Structure 1
Amino acid sequence: MADSAYVIVTWAQTPARTCEWAYSCEWETQCCRKDDKPFSVYWYPGLALDGLGECGPLGREDEECFTGMSIDYCNCAEGLTCRPETPGSDVVIGFFTYVKHTCQRDRQ
């Protein structure tokens, strides 16, 4: 009789992680997203958990991005850079107004 070995593999789906604060997501590999759009935890302090986002992919082309703040970020995916939009594209987020930045293709 030959010896037999069995390998049992289990497959578990990792649940999406809630963005409870700016560093809830994996640094430089994920962004906080809400309704599949980048979401800044910093601008909306004190939200209940159901009002927060979930960790997801980095910023895609033409999506809003947040960089330059050590307490909040949403970097762009490979081949894209977070740059200011055209003049007059100011955005009000929470209590603040800032110049809108989007993920734009790297310049060659």
Structure 2
Amino acid sequence: MTAAPDPTTNVAVELAQLRGEIHTGLEQIKGTLGVLVERTNRTDADVRQLRADMDKEIEDLQNQINELNKGRWPLAQIGALAAVAGVVAAVIALFLT
């Protein structure tokens, strides 16, 4: 007659295997989380760099706009002066003829 297997041994073996699988799964999760944290840090650094670059580009564009505005002719004032000069010339021509 063969001896019946000890049920406590089977339970202990199964528990050991389960612990190993859980440990392996947790290590995989930790590794994945580490990769995600690294990607997040890299993304944050990239966003900070892009923001700094965009701020610099915006500042350069604002400086260019200011320079263009300084060199712009005051067309409205020139138009008003030309209109006044035309009226004066018409009035002078009216009185001299």
Bigger fraction of residues in helix: 2
Higher strand share: 1
Select the structure of larger CA radius of gyration. Answer: 2
Q: Same fold (TM over 0.5)?
A: no
- Which TM-score band (shorter chain)? under 0.3
> Which one has more relative contact order, counting CA pairs under 8 Å at least 6 apart?
1
